[in-house]
A and B are shown apart, each in its own frame.
Chain A
Amino acid sequence: MLICLPVLAASFCPGLKSNRPLDRYHKLEGFTGFNNENMCEADIPGKAWAGAGPGVRCLELRFLRHNLRGGVMMKHTLSVLVENNPGVLARVAGLFSRRGFNIDSLAVGRTENPRVSRMTIVVEGDDFTLEQVNKQLHKLVDVIKISDLTKDAYVDRELVMIKVFAEPSSRAEIMQLVDIFRARIVDVGPKTLTIEVTGNSGKIDAFELSLRPFGIKELVRTGKIAMLRGYKNSIKGNNHKEEDVS
C-alpha cells in the first residue's frame, strides 16, 4: 500500500516550486527539448550519461539553485526505515513542517518485515538543511535507519495513472506514445484512455507533457520510491555489471 502526499508536499514550499514542473528541464545544459530519444534514454541512466554515474543523479546535479544562505539547494532522496507504529507518518510529516523543511514527495509502505515500513522522502535543501533533517529524523524513536540514497547509485520509480481524452481520431497517436514510453493502457472508456506508466520523474514529466495536447482529464501520481543499486553487495563476489533493466 502506498500513501503518497505530493499535494501536501507542494504546500510545504510555496514559492520555491514552479507550478510548471517541466520548467526546470529548460535550465539543463544542452537541453534542446524533449524528443523520443532523451525521453526513453532517461530511463536507462547508464546509457544516457555514460561515465557520469547514474543518470538520475546526474540530472539533478545539473539542476542547481542557491538558497538565501548561499548554500546549494539540491534534491535528496532519503530512504527511512521506521517502526510500523500508529502515528509514525504524522511524526515524520509533522517534523518536516515544524522545522520548515521542504518535502517534495513522501511514499510509505511496508517492507518485507511487517513491523517495519520504509519511507522514501524527497527533500530539497542545502547541506546544512539535509544534516538537520537527518539528525532530527534520527531523534524520532520510531525511526530505525536513514540513508541518503543521493550519495550512491540508486534506482527510483514513480507510478502515474493518467486519464486522457481520446477521440477515435487521436487514439492511434496516443497508443503510439504509450508504446514509446513503455506505458500501459489499463482502462478504455468511450472517450478516454487510462494509462499507467512507471519510471523516474523525468520520464513521467515527459510523458505527461506529451499527453497534454490531447487533454488530461485526471492524473494521479505516487511519490517516488527508490532503492540502492545492488553492485555494492555483489562487487566482491563477481564482477558482473548491474544495469537498470526496466
Chain B
Amino acid sequence: MQSDVTKKVLRSQKGKVSKRKKEADQALLSGAEILIRSLEDEGVETIFGYPGGQALPIYDALYDSKINHILCRHEQGAAHAADGYARATGKPGVCLATSGPGATNLVTGIATAFMDSVPMVAITGQVPLSLLGRDSFQEADITGITLPITKHSYLVRDTSELAQTVKEAIYIATTGRPGPVLIDVPRDVSSGQAEYRRADKMNLPGYRPVLDADPAQVEEAARAIMKSERPVIYAGGGVVISGAHEELLQLAELLMAPVCNTLTGLGGFPGNHPLSLGMLGMHGTKYANYAVSECDLLIAVGARFDDRVTGDVETFAPEARIIHIDIDPAEIGKNVRVDIPVVGDVKRVLRQLLKSLQPRLNEAWRDKIMAWKKEYPLNYCEKGCLKPQAIIREICRQTEGKARITTEVGQHQMWTAQYYTFTRPRSFITSGGLGTMGFGLPAAIGVQVGCPDELVFDIAGDGSIQMNIQELCTAVNYDLPVNVAILNNGYLGMVRQWQELFYNRRYSQSELLNPDFVKLAEAYGAEGIRVTRPSELAPAIEQAINSSKPVMLDFIVDREENVLPMVPPGGTLNKMLG
C-alpha cells in the first residue's frame, strides 16, 4: 500500500507529464489534424465521404472537428454529392475516401466533375509510404489512375507539406477553369506529426489563369458584333460558373440577340425570357438550331462546342463568324474554327465588352426567330397514358421553375432540359460532359446539404436511379427531403430510342425488370408514391413537395415515347427528326 505522500508525488508527476504532453501537442499536430484544420481554415464546412483502413487517422481527426461529415453509402455517391454541392453553391465540394477500392470508387465522380469543370477536392487515404508500390492490401495508384481526369493531383510525402497542399489544391480547384484536384495522403503522413502553420502564400509558378482579356480582342469582338446583322448568343456552363448571368442578360437585351444554351448552361439565361431559345444541339429546340444555322455571328460564351451541340462541325453555323469567349485558351479552336478568340473570365470579358457596345435591333431577324418559335414549338402527343413530358411540365408548374433540379442521364434528362423552364443559374445540375448515370440522386443530396431551405428534385429514369439507389439511405439518414421523380418506362429509354432509330428496333439488352420502387423507398425509410394515370399527377407532386421526408415518385409512363426533335449523331443541325 502506498503512503499518501507517495500518491501525492505520483499525482503531481502525472500532472506534469500530461501538461508537458499537452504543450507538445499544441506545437505538434498529427497530419490528419493538420489536414482537417487546413480544410476548416479554407472555409470547408461539409465533407462527403466513406471511411476505411488507411483513412482512419483522418476520420479520427474529423471526430473532433466542426466540419459536417455526410456518410454516403458508396464512394461514388460521395463524389457526386460533393459535385452537386459545388455546382449548387459555387463552393468547392470535398469528398474523402480510403485507399484502393475507396479511391477507385471516386473515379467516376472525379471524371464527371472534370468534364463539367466543377471545383472539387478529393482526398484519399493511401498505404504508408514504406509500402507504396508493393501491391499492398488496398493499394491503388490513384494519382496515376486519375491523372487524365484531374486538374492537378498531389501525393503528399511529408506531414509538413499537408497545410500547403490543401491550400494549393483548393486554390487550383476553384480558380481559372475549375476542376477536381486529388490529394492522396499515405497513412504515415496522416499519422505523423508536424507543426501546423497556416499556409499564407502559394508556390505555383506554372499556374496563372488568364482572367482579363486582351482589350484588342475585346474591341475586335465588339466591332464584329456591331457589324453583324443576325447575331446569336450560344451560352454554356461557363456563364453559370463565372456568375455572368446578369451580364449575359444585359448583352442579349442590348443587342436583342436570341440566346441558346448548352445543357450545362441552362439557367444561365432565364428560360422564360422572350429572347431565350432554350437548348441547342442534338435534342435542342428546332428554333435554336435554325437560328444557329442561319446566324451571321455566333457569340460563344463559356461553351466548348461539344459534338452533341455542333453535330457535323463542317456544317455547323455555316454562315457565321464565331466569337469565342472562354477562360481556357485550349478550348479556342479545339473543335471548330474560331474567328475572334477572347480568352478571359466570362464575367469580366462581358463587362469589358458591354462598355463598347450600343443598342441594336434587327427587326427582320427578330421576327424570323419569333416566327420559328411559333411555328416549331416543342410538342408531344398529350393523349392517352402518362407522358414523361407532362410530368416535367407539371413539376415545373408547381415549383414555378424555381426548384433545384438534378438529373441522371438519358431520356428523362433531355426531357427535363426541354420542358423545365430554368430561370436562375445553378438550378439545373446534370452530368453534361461525361453523361454519368447514377449522378442525380447523390448530387441532389449534395445540393440539399448546400441549400437546406430549397426544394430539390432528382428527375431520374428507372435505369439510372438503380445505379446509386443506395444513397436514398443517406438522404433518410440526414433528413434531407429530396424528391426523386422516376420516369419509369421499363427500358433504358435512350438506348431503346437509338435501337429503334438506328438498329432496326432490335432492343438488345435495353428492357429492364425493375423492383417495386414504392416498397423500396419505404424499406429505406423514405416515402414512395406510384402514379399511373394523368389525373394522379398533380396531387402526387404536391404531396411530395409538402412532405418533410425524402419521397420517391414512381411514374409509370408511356413506354416507347421518344425524345424529339433529334439531330442524328454527326448530322447537320437544321436537319432534325421529329
Contacts and interface: CB of A to CB of B under 8 A. Distances in A.
The answer to whether A and B interact is yes
Interface of A: 82-83, 86-87, 90-91, 94, 98, 128, 131-132, 135-136, 138-145
Nearest to B147: A94
Given A82-B206, A87-B143, A94-B148, A139 B330 contact: yes
The 4 A-B residue pairs whose C-beta atoms are closest, nearest first, are: A135-B330, A144-B206, A141-B152, A141-B207
B148 A141 contact: no
Interface in B489-524: none
Nearest to B168: A141
A4 B147 CA distance: 21
Contacts of A128: 333
Contact of B206 (A90, A132, A136, A140): A140
Contacts of B204: 141
Q: Which of B143, B155, B205, B333 has the most CB of A within 10 A?
A: B205
A144 B205 contact: yes
Contacts of B147: 87, 90-91, 94
Contacts, number: 40
A91 B198 CA distance: 29
A86 B133 CA distance: 14
Given A132-B334, A138-B329, A139-B328, A98 B148 contact: yes
Nearest to B179: A139
Contacts of B300: none
A74 to B, nearest CB: 18
B148 A83 contact: no
Contacts of A141: 151-152, 172, 204, 206-207
Contacts of B206: 82-83, 140-145
B145 to A, nearest CB: 11
Interface in B24-41: none
B432 to A, nearest CB: 20
B144 interface: yes
A132 B334 CA distance: 7
Nearest to A145: B206
A142 B330 CA distance: 16
B205 A135 contact: no
Given A86-B155, A98-B148, A141-B172, A132 B330 contact: yes
B165 to A, nearest CB: 12
Contacts of A94: 147-148
Contacts of A82: 206
Nearest to B172: A141
A87 B206 CA distance: 15
18 contacts: A83-B205, A83-B206, A86-B157, A87-B143, A90-B144, A90-B147, A91-B147, A94-B148, A128-B333, A131-B333, A135-B332, A138-B329, A138-B330, A141-B152, A141-B204, A141-B206, A141-B207, A145-B206
Contacts of A138: 329-330
B235 to A, nearest CB: 22
A138 to B, nearest CB: 7
Contacts of B157: 86
Interface string B123-157: 00000000000000000000110011001110101
A106 B157 CA distance: 27
B172 A87 contact: no
Contacts of A145: 206
A140 to B, nearest CB: 7
A136 B177 CA distance: 13
Contacts of B152: 141
Nearest to B157: A86
A9 B172 CA distance: 31
A93 to B, nearest CB: 10
Nearest to B177: A139
A142 B172 CA distance: 12
A145 B172 CA distance: 18
B336 to A, nearest CB: 12
A83 B206 CA distance: 8
A128 B332 CA distance: 11
A196 to B, nearest CB: 34
B205 A87 contact: no
A35 B188 CA distance: 63
Contacts of A98: 148
Nearest to A116: B205
Interface in B511-543: none
A83 B148 CA distance: 19
B307 to A, nearest CB: 16
Nearest to A98: B148
Nearest to A82: B206
A110 to B, nearest CB: 16
Contacts of B172: 141
Contacts of A139: 328, 330
Contacts of B144: 87, 90
Interface string B308-337: 000000000000000000001110111000
A188 B148 CA distance: 47
Contacts of B143: 87
Contacts of B333: 128, 131
A135 B210 CA distance: 13
A82 B143 CA distance: 18
Nearest to A97: B148
B355 to A, nearest CB: 28
Contacts of B153: 87
Interface string B199-215: 00000111100000000
Q: Which of B204, B206, B330, B333 has the most CB of A within 10 A?
A: B206
A213 B172 CA distance: 56
Interface in B546-563: none
B50 to A, nearest CB: 26
Given A141-B152, A143-B206, 17 more contacts: A83-B205, A86-B155, A87-B144, A87-B147, A87-B153, A87-B155, A90-B144, A94-B147, A98-B148, A128-B333, A131-B333, A135-B330, A138-B329, A139-B330, A141-B206, A142-B206, A144-B205
